Amino acid sequence: MRARKAVHLYRFFHAGEPAGEGRLEVLPGREGVKATFQAELLLPLPRTKVRLSTETDLEGFSRYFSERVEGREARVFTVERLEGEGLVMVSQGKESLAYPYLAPYHDALSLLLALPHLDLLPGEVARFALPGGRAYVERLPDLEAEGRPLRQYRLRPGLTLVQVEGDRVVRVAQQVGDHVFEALWEGEEEPRRRRRWV
């Protein structure tokens, strides 16, 4: 998977009203990509903090995924690929479940990172394994917004619309109840340099 080091900033809207903001940090490495998405959502209530982390292999498939959500209550969900044992370990709270590792799969974040690099023509559909399920990605006709060409994808289940410009996701829209929840790309931030202690 071709990825570059970047920090993307997003604003969220729910039913057209401002609903929070988030940042996606992408760090490519020798063995794959590490990415973290952090967001604070103000709408729909209650105020919720979300942190998604993924570690991928060189092909962009998930090796480790964690999701932490803090709202009315806190919950943590992790999925880890244990290739040596031929297992996928899924944990939620104190409960864990192992099932056989049969084929590479995506998690919610690694799939979004893969979209800008998919080689699909308009009308084509690709199927991807997810932990405990699958996702279908359909390439929709391209469109132009403010003179910029955008590639569009529809993800199912969930009927999520994703728009991509170049190597970044610039819009995600999904129906939540009676309203549309949107994430819109606001720009990039300079990646922070990590200090090395001697």
- The share of the chain scoring above pLDDT 70, in percent, equals 95
pLDDT tens for residues 28-48?
Answer: 999 999 999 999 998 777 899
Query: Across residues 162-178, what is the average pLDDT?
Result: 92
In whole numbers, what is the pLDDT of the chain averaged over residues?
91
pTM: 0.89
Higher pLDDT, 164 or 197: 164
Quick one: pLDDT at residue 198? 47
Q: Under a CB-based contact definition with an 8 Å cutoff, are residues 52 and 36 in contact?
A: yes
Quick one: pLDDT at residue 197? 55
DSSP 54-100: EEE-TTS-EEEEEEEEESSSEEEEEEEEETTTTEEEEEETTEEEEEE
Q: Which amino acid is at 34?
A: K
pLDDT tens for residues 2-23?
Answer: 678 999 999 999 989 999 999 9
